[in-house]
Amino acid sequence: MGAWAYNNSTFLVMCLLFRLMCRLQVMRLQSYYQLLEGRGSSSALVMLQEHMRLRQQLLLISHRFRLFLLLSLCAITASHFAILFKVMASHGIVNFARTGDLVVSSGT
């Protein structure tokens, strides 16, 4: 039960972070849209600088978020394997059949 709650809470935190980052980017894109409409400074140089800044930020955020997802996946997998081996080691013999039975029973 604890592993299930841990997996789901980690997934929900990642979803919330992703949603927050998307909302922030939407706000930045809306301000850029207003700049393009002419509500702000109408200089072409300012528009291009803002475009490059937004593009760089989106690239950086997407790479950081991908890294975060990959590292959290590795951390969750490693913790599950550590618990699995700890539980199996306490019962004595560790073989593929017993470990597979434990994995199947913990997945349901």
Q: What is the pLDDT of residues 76-94, one digit of tens each?
A: 788 878 877 777 777 666 6
Q: What was the pLDDT predicted at 52? A: 92
How large a percentage of the chain has pLDDT more than 70?
Answer: 77
Q: Which residue has the higher pLDDT, 69 or 26?
A: 26
SS3 105: helix
Element (H, E) at 1: none
Q: What angle do CA 27, 44, 37 make, to 5 degrees?
A: 45
Q: Can you tell me the distance from the alpha carbon of 104 to that of 108, in angstroms, rounded to the nearest whole number?
A: 7
Phi-psi region of 40 (alpha: psi -120 to 50; beta: other; left: phi over 0): beta
Q: Has residue 21 got a pLDDT over 80?
A: yes
Q: Has residue 108 got a pLDDT over 80?
A: no
Per-residue pLDDT tens over the stretch 56-73:
988 888 888 888 888 888
> Per the confidence metrics, is the pTM higher than 0.75?
no
Torsion, CA 75, CA 12, CA 68, CA 106, rounded to 10: 20
Domain spans in the chain, listed from the N-terminal domain onward: 2-107
